[in-house]
Amino acid sequence: MKAELINLFQKTYGRLPEVIARAPGRIEFIGNHTDYNGGAVLGAAIDRGVGVALARRDDGKRNFASGQKGGMVRLGAADVARQIGDDAWVNYPLGVLVALPEFGLKAPEGFDYLALSDLPTGAGLSSSAAIELASALVYLAATGQQPARETVVKVGRHAENHFVGVPCGILDQGVSGFGLKDHLVAIDCRGPKFSTVPLPAGAHFWIFNTHTKHALVDGLYATRHRECMEAAQGLGVGLLADVSVDTLRAAEGRLAPVVFKRARHVVEEIARVSQTHAALQARDLAAVGQLLTASHRSSQTLFENSTVELDFLVDQLVRAPRVFGARLTGGGFGGAVMALTAADFSAEDAKKVAEAYAASFGAAPDILHTQTGDGAALL
Ligand code: ADP
Ligand code: MG
């Protein structure tokens, strides 16, 4: 990626970049809707990501180009309004610039900027967090600043929440920032606290993106959030992470049936995350896979954030050989399914699943085969 970035930078701006950084995309491994309930989540930084190259300019002008977008967006140093239409992608790098002073950090004045990606966008792999973190790293390096990794993660999330206007949790930026090859990133969302956990050798990820999206996804997300908060209130705690599986069971009669189901998904999912830690420590990928599939079944029946398309893929995958487990990944209500497989799960195996899906739903899902990769870093 570095050589390609240098090449394209030179072609675009007629000179060499001064700093280059790259940040990976991520997969939500397990921990579904646990973040805003104060729980834990495990994510995987993957081996695909977004690279950003930058060279400072003396005239205060800011030029933005991307290998994935046509044309160049030319802004003055005082131009920090949100962009719309074709230029809206610039809100990610621009949002990061605007976020830096909020964390007591300097933003560079003028520069030429180029992004280049081998990560599909809008596929639930968080290309948005990747471009934010890679941007933050080049801005910081160009101005000689080296804040803690935690701060870089927070800058990225702040940009996405407040400038782009997407209310994402800490998973996206946290995993992209703290990722490590052959590891998963564990996040205790309440801190948030970040750590890494070894992933046994031979674990492969296959992502099947259905490109489906429930028409009411934003409203459904808000409803689930409200139901979780209502459950916590009914149980007399601040957040559902403060309730054990046993306490919740004992309190079933105190909650409306739907609210109880939502709470059960979250509380049991938080328990599944800690069971996954134990299974990982025992290097038992079969047990890890069963927890992933159990997470999906809980989404399907309790949290009701799955869809017939996602259920179909999970059913096909768990029946296929060399698959440890499968689940929807991300918020749900459409999107993608992730399978954890052995190394010898092949493109041919994946194709069979995609063909069965196409026979039922008309269009084949996009397939991405990936493994863990390193977190955001200067190149
Ligand atoms: P996801 O994060 O799942 O990929 P989002 O909608 O959150 O989906 O973010 C995708 C957006 O991020 C793109 O539409 C684009 O605006 C921006 N983006 C990501 N990568 C690049 C890139 N390499 N060049 C330009 N814009 C990018
Ligand atoms: Mg995103």
Take residue 241 and report the two structure tokens written for it: 């992470």
DSSP line for 115-182: EEESS-TTSSS-HHHHHHHHHHHHHHHHTT----HHHHHHHHHHIIIIII-----SHHHHHHHH--TT
Number of Cβ within 10 Å of residue 200's Cβ equals: 14
| Domains of the chain with bracketed CATH | 2-198 (3.30.230.10), 204-370 (3.30.70.890)
Looking from the CA of residue 166, the nearest atom of ligand 1 is 7
Q: How far is the CA of 84 from the centre of ligand 1 (A)?
A: 14
Q: Are 297 and 63 in contact (CB under 8 A)?
A: no
Which atom of ligand 1 is nearest to 66's Cα? 24
Q: How far is the CA of 122 from the centre of ligand 1 (A)?
A: 6
- ∠ CA 296-297-300, nearest 5°, is 90
User: Which 8-state DSSP code applies to residue 303?
Assistant: I
Cα–Cα dist 315/11, whole Å: 48
Based on the residue annotation, tell me whether 172 is a catalytic residue of this protein: yes
- Using CA positions, which residue lies closest to atom 20 of ligand 1? 127
Q: How far apart are CA 55 and CA 23, in angstroms?
A: 18
Closest ligand to 64 CA?
Answer: 1
Separation CA 113–CA 98 (nearest Å) = 16
- H helix intervals, 214-324: 217-234, 245-250, 257-281, 285-298, 308-319
CA of 283 to the centre of ligand 2 (A): 31
Four-CA torsion 327, 123, 128, 17, nearest 10 degrees = 120
Give pLDDT, residue 216: 84
Q: Are strands 204-213 and 366-370 parallel, antiparallel or unpaired?
A: antiparallel
Cα separation, 317 vs 9, in Å, equals 42
Ligand whose nearest atom lies closest to the CA of 68: 1
Nearest ligand to the CA of 130 is 1
Atom from ligand 1 closest to the CA of residue 168: 7
Closest ligand to C-alpha of residue 368 is 1
Q: Whose CA is nearest to atom 6 of ligand 1?
A: 122
- The residue whose CA has the least distance to atom 11 of ligand 1 is 128
What residues sit around ligand 2, an ion, with C-beta below 5 angstroms? Answer: 126, 128
Atom of ligand 1 nearest to the CA of 91: 16
3-state DSSP percent of the chain in helix, strand and coil, to 5: 45, 25, 30
Q: Is 294 helix (H, G, I), strand (E, B) or coil?
A: helix
Closest residue by CA, ligand 1 atom 7: 128
With b for 16 or more beta-carbon neighbours within 10 A and e for fewer, the 334-353 pattern comes to bbbbbbbbeeebeeebbeeb
Separation of CA 129 and ligand 2 centre (Å): 6
Atom 26 in ligand 1: residue holding the nearest Cα? 89
Task: Indicate the angle between helix axes 127-142 and 91-99, nearest 10 degrees.
Answer: 50
Question: Which pLDDT tens digits describe the chain residue by residue (379 residues)?
Answer: 999 999 999 999 999 999 999 999 999 999 999 999 999 999 999 999 999 999 999 999 999 999 999 999 999 988 999 999 999 999 999 999 999 999 999 999 999 999 999 998 888 899 999 999 999 999 999 999 999 999 999 999 999 999 999 888 899 999 999 999 999 999 999 999 999 999 999 999 999 999 998 888 889 999 999 999 999 999 999 999 999 999 999 999 999 999 999 999 999 999 999 999 999 999 999 999 999 999 999 999 999 999 999 999 999 999 999 999 999 998 999 999 999 999 999 999 999 999 999 999 999 999 999 999 999 999 9
The residue whose CA has the least distance to atom 18 of ligand 1 is 128
Q: Residue 122 and residue 165: Cα distance in Å, rounded?
A: 15
Write down the pLDDT at residue 261.
98
Single out the residue of 143, 155, 120 nearest to residue 46, CA to CA. Answer: 120
Q: How far is the CA of 131 from the centre of ligand 1 (A)?
A: 7
Q: Identify the residues whose C-beta falls under 6 Å from ligand 1.
A: 50, 66, 68-69, 89, 92, 115, 117, 121-128, 131, 166
| Catalytic pick among 35, 47, 112, 172 | 172
pLDDT at 215: 82
> How many angstroms is it from 163 CA to the middle of ligand 2?
13
Cis peptide before 192 (omega within 30 of 0): yes
CA of 226 to the centre of ligand 1 (A): 28
**End-to-end CA separation in angstroms for the chain:** 9
Q: Which atom of ligand 1 is nearest to the CA of 124?
A: 3
Name residue 254's amino acid.
Answer: R
Token pair listed for 158: 């702040």
